A and B are shown apart, each in its own frame.
Chain A
Amino acid sequence: MKPVSFSKAELERYSRHLIIPEFNIEGQRRLKNAKVLVVGTGGLGSPLLLYLTAAGVGTIGILDFDVVDDSNLQRQVLFSVDDVGKPKVEAAKKRLERLNSHVNFQVYNTMLTSKNALEIIKEYDLVADGTDNFPTRYLVNDACVILGKPNVYGSIFRFEGQVSVFNYKSGPHYRDLFPTPPPPGLVPSCAEGGVIGVLPGIIGSLQANEVLKILSGIGETLSGRLFLFDALTFETRTLKIHKNPETPEIKELIDYDQFCGLNLNGKANKEDVKEITVEELKALRDSKEDVQLIDVREAYEYDICNLEGELIPLGRILDSFEKIASNKKVIVYCRSGARSATAITQLERKYGFDNLYNLKGGVLAWADRIDTSMAKY
């Protein structure tokens, strides 16, 4: 390890670590000497970055491609109202530099891909995964396995959280637990399924704790164990994870969208559906043409905003096919256009509809381009 020294200001700042007997100045030296990459600066990334910065991890990589949105502020406590519209990595860096000037930050305003993952991750000792989709989860895992880096994993959905440490000291990794991802559409993202705002704070903080334990070498990590937390019932479980002898050896990175059944647009892998833009729908409505509008979201989403379509949630669409006209244009819509595309594919395959059009961009596009008074979520 490089020799590491501390200034008076640092010694005072970290004094509550230094007086823990098993942590002491040696643990703090290890933190200062360490490089951690946090992938995703959202719900999990926020507490991760705040605590790792406050604790004095020497170099922290911040990776995200998105900009701060109003709907992030319910749980992404790294950001403020002033940050809306700014790149997340820039807003995060600005906030974190104010928290601890002794930390070196590297920002990557990009999506993690099979092309750049190895190049970026190889610079770090450890990766903390705070992403929000299956392709990136498998990408982070595989890159960590190839490069031999520990992967501190956290994941959330509504009220439920998972935490583990993968690929640490020959321990199991993500593919040992989940060899293949679920098909698209079965497990909605937080954008579609929702998440209680405090949950990522809890799960991301647990990840930060595991990161500090691994870096400082103290305690027993969650390697080989999966921690589950249900915020609704306050039940916790810790399950064992084993290395799976059937897990294939990971030699190179692959096309993870394809692996997860997605095409490049993030849409379910299915034959193309016919589309209509929000401008075209507006023109149709203005012309009073007789069309049917079907809303395949859930009732609680419909209550936030809607286009006065007939509400038939995706899960019931096949059972409700008799409600869908076959003799006129039917426009199917959802929040972003993904679920409605799935609904159309299912209806076309099973019942042979040929008059269904997907509203491109969903109600989000309508709120952006046609009716800006409509709430987005």
Chain B
Amino acid sequence: MAKVIIPTPLRKFTSNLGTIDTNGGTVKENIGSLAEQFPDLKKHIFDENGDIRKFVRIYLGDEDINVLEKENTKVLQDSVISIIPAIAGGSN
């Protein structure tokens, strides 16, 4: 079972859970498994066409899946997938 690390801004859609165990052989299947468990999360990660939104980056370990095989990147049992959103806070 792979692990997905949920960033703070999206934790309101995962009952405040920071990591979720997911199933699947690819990144897309694992993120899909995540979205099944937390349906409210889906629209914040995927657009209307089912593609990953541009303000969200998905990493496998320390590597951007865009330089691997994108959503078809293979996921192992002990893989860690990170969802990285843009955040902007800093001043006020």
The residues of A with any CB-CB pair to B shorter than 8 Å are: 40-45, 64, 66, 72, 129-134, 137, 154-160, 162, 177-182, 186-191, 193, 195, 200, 203, 226, 228, 230, 232-233, 235, 237-242, 244, 315
**Chain A minimum-CB-distance residue to B56:** A182
Do A180 and B55 touch (CB < 8 A)? yes
Do B54 and A178 touch (CB < 8 A)? yes
Across-interface contacts of B90 in A (CB, < 8 A)? 40, 42-45, 129-132, 154-156, 190, 200, 203
Contact of B91 (CB < 8 Å), options: A132, A178, A181, A193: A132
Do A182 and B84 touch (CB < 8 A)? no
Do A45 and B91 touch (CB < 8 A)? yes
Question: In the complex, A315→B9 CA distance in Å?
Answer: 13
Among B5, B9, B44, B59, the one with the most A-chain Cβ atoms within 10 Å of its Cβ is B9
Per the 8 Å Cβ criterion, residues 70-92 of B in contact with A are: 82, 84-92
Across-interface contacts of A40 in B (CB, < 8 A)? 90-91
**Chain B minimum-CB-distance residue to A135:** B88
Do B82 and A239 touch (CB < 8 A)? yes
B73 to chain A, nearest CB (A): 14
Query: Is B7's beta carbon under 8 Å from chain A?
Result: yes
Among B5, B86, B89, the one with the most A-chain Cβ atoms within 10 Å of its Cβ is B89
B2 to chain A, nearest CB (A): 15
B70 to chain A, nearest CB (A): 13
Do B92 and A189 touch (CB < 8 A)? yes
- CB contact under 8 A between A186 and B62, given known A160-B8, A179-B54, A239-B84: no
Across-interface contacts of B87 in A (CB, < 8 A)? 155-157, 160, 162, 187
Contact of B92 (CB < 8 Å), options: A159, A160, A190, A244: A190
